[in-house]
Amino acid sequence: MANFGDPLRVVLIDDHQLFREGMRGVLEADGMVVAGEGANGQEAVALTREHQPDALVLDLRMGTSSGLDALRSVSNAWPAIRTIVVTVSAERGDVLDALAAGACGYLLKDTAVDQLAIGVRQVAEGQIVISSALADALRTHVRAGVRGEEHRQSLTPREQAVLRLMADGANNVAIGRELSISPHTVKQYVKSIFEKLGVRSRVQAAVHAVRVGLV
């Protein structure tokens, strides 16, 4: 992992060499270091273990190799390493599965080049990154089928407010500023939300909230 002030270190996994070369150029032009490259899920896990990067850029579908399986392995073994999925699939199920498995971002390969670099950097810095159009489609989809009243009743009004801001990608400082409470108090609310929803991360909490219509 990079120290403060060092360039962000990234492992890049995609089975298309031309895309990897283009993506490497984009990231390096933005001041990042591509520590390793691979073409399948097994290489994603091995290179992550070897290089301990700040961020993993991962495709979901790579021939017979499952990017989703690799994502789960990386998230379980190295939860501090932030993963952003960059893929061609805009399927709602793929987005939700990836985020639930531990991805901190989901961008499509036709995203503008400069936005890809910005997205990787934002994910490495702790934000949740997903295109607004895709996020809106997900919210519309889940709200049409699920109400989430039982989960609403288990969360206090303040916890619901914290969760809504968390699902929008706000960090503890931003949430505290919005709700006029300290970051330490926000941290306690987040801990309580995790326990009540049975999740382990902010991303999983946000995905769960969207799935059941809490936000």
Of 78, 104, 136, which residue constitutes the final position of a domain? 136
CA 163 to chain centre: 16
> What's the pLDDT score for residue 199?
78
Stretches where the chain sits below pLDDT 70 are 1-5, 132-133, 135-153, 210-215
Looking at the fold, whether 118 and 154 belong to one and the same domain comes out as: no
pTM of this prediction? 0.69
Looking at the fold, whether 202 and 108 belong to one and the same domain comes out as: no
CATH number at residue 119: 3.40.50.2300
Please indicate, yes or no, if residue 2 is contained in any of the structural domains: no
Looking at the fold, whether 131 and 165 belong to one and the same domain comes out as: no
> What's the pLDDT score for residue 131?
74
Of 136, 161, 194, which residue constitutes the final position of a domain? 136
Please indicate, yes or no, if residue 181 is contained in any of the structural domains: yes
Please indicate, yes or no, if residue 1 is contained in any of the structural domains: no
Looking at the fold, whether 131 and 204 belong to one and the same domain comes out as: no
> What's the pLDDT score for residue 113?
84
Looking at the fold, whether 111 and 37 belong to one and the same domain comes out as: yes
Looking at the fold, whether 68 and 168 belong to one and the same domain comes out as: no
> What's the pLDDT score for residue 146?
43
Q: How many structural domains are present in the chain?
A: 2
CATH number at residue 163: 1.10.10.10
**Domain range enclosing 197:** 146-211
pLDDT digits (tens, 9 = 90+) for 130-153: 876 676 666 555 444 444 445 555
Task: Give the Cα separation of 64 and 198 in Å (integer).
Answer: 32
Please indicate, yes or no, if residue 141 is contained in any of the structural domains: no
